[in-house]
Amino acid sequence: MNIQDPVSDMITRIRNAQKANKEFVSVSFSNLKASISYVLKEEGYIKNFSINRKKKNRSYIIIQLKYFNGNGVIENIKRVSKPGLRIYKKKDQIPLIMEGLGIVIISTSQGVMTDRKARKNGLGGEIICYVS
């Protein structure tokens, strides 16, 4: 199966797995997806993630989802920049999600990071997704 937007597929898998109260979700590996998973873990939206090698030399990222009082910690996750329409913002144009309670994941020249870290470092970049 050919996936046109792998990051959007990852986000959709996370969203669907949380709605179904699954403990784990697996997505195919890429460096960008691993970086997004790292940011989600550092910000406390997921418990953990690991990279596993499987059959035919394909790697997968296994994401352990996090719940609080029976509800998923990730209430909303939305893809912003898409392959057909990339969204770039300067450091002072990066939006606030839920007045700072949510995060924006941004791909900058210094790697994938949150909106707070990008503002602190004076960086803009491609807006990957919003998480709240």
How many Å apart are CA 47 and CA 67, to the nearest integer?
A: 9
CATH architecture of 6-131: 2-Layer Sandwich (3.30)
pLDDT (tens, 9 = 90+) of the chain, 132 residues, equals 568 999 999 999 999 999 999 999 999 999 999 999 999 999 999 999 999 987 678 899 999 999 999 899 999 999 999 999 999 999 999 999 988 899 999 999 999 999 999 999 999 999 999 999
pLDDT on residue 99: 87
Q: Is this prediction's pTM over 0.85? A: yes
pLDDT on residue 12: 96
Cβ(109)–Cβ(123) under 8 Å?
A: yes
DSSP code string of 14-72: HHHHHHTT-SEEEEE--HHHHHHHHHHHHTTSEEEEEEEE-GGG-EEEEEEE-EETTEE
Dihedral (CA of 62, 63, 67, 71) sign: negative
Structure tokens at 107: 């791909």
pLDDT on residue 1: 56
Cβ(130)–Cβ(97) under 8 Å?
A: yes
